[in-house]
Amino acid sequence: MNKTQKLILAIFVPIIFFFIALVIANNLGVTSVMEIVSENDPRRSPPDIFDKYRHGPPTITSHTHNPFDWGKTWYVWLLYSASCCLFEFLLFKDKKIIAERNKED
């Protein structure tokens, strides 16, 4: 593989790794948010027969996605960084130096 091909791989493979890590971290960084709704709110579901058994005010649960919530997704980004470093190292390691050391021994 020539130098230009290695350079292209060195740029595009970490970008592909980033989008894979972003999708995984987006699924792991979900936070559930509950919101109390009023009686006149159009987002509230229509009343049903079980309303009299529910305790507390009516709520709506929504989810927010944050792939950069470091408390929940730090290990995804650590694995991403390690895999990029390993890929770059294996791509650019010089095999000639190792072969010359073996000849000297």
Residue corresponding to tokens 């980004």: 77
Both tokens assigned to 20? 């894979």
pTM above 0.85, yes or no: no
Sign of CA dihedral 71, 72, 75, 79: negative
Q: In 3-state terms, what secondary structure has residue 62?
A: strand
Q: Residue 56 has what pLDDT?
A: 66
Q: Residue 45 has what pLDDT?
A: 67
Both tokens assigned to 29? 């960084």
d(CA 24, CA 47): 38
Quick: pLDDT tens for 41-85: 666 666 666 666 766 666 777 788 889 989 999 999 999 999 999
How would residue 21 be classed by pLDDT, with cut points 50, 70 and 90? very high
Residue corresponding to tokens 């390993």: 86
List, in sequence order, every residue forming a beta bridge with 13; answer none if it has no partner. none
Looking at residue 69, its amino acid is D
d(CA 14, CA 85): 9
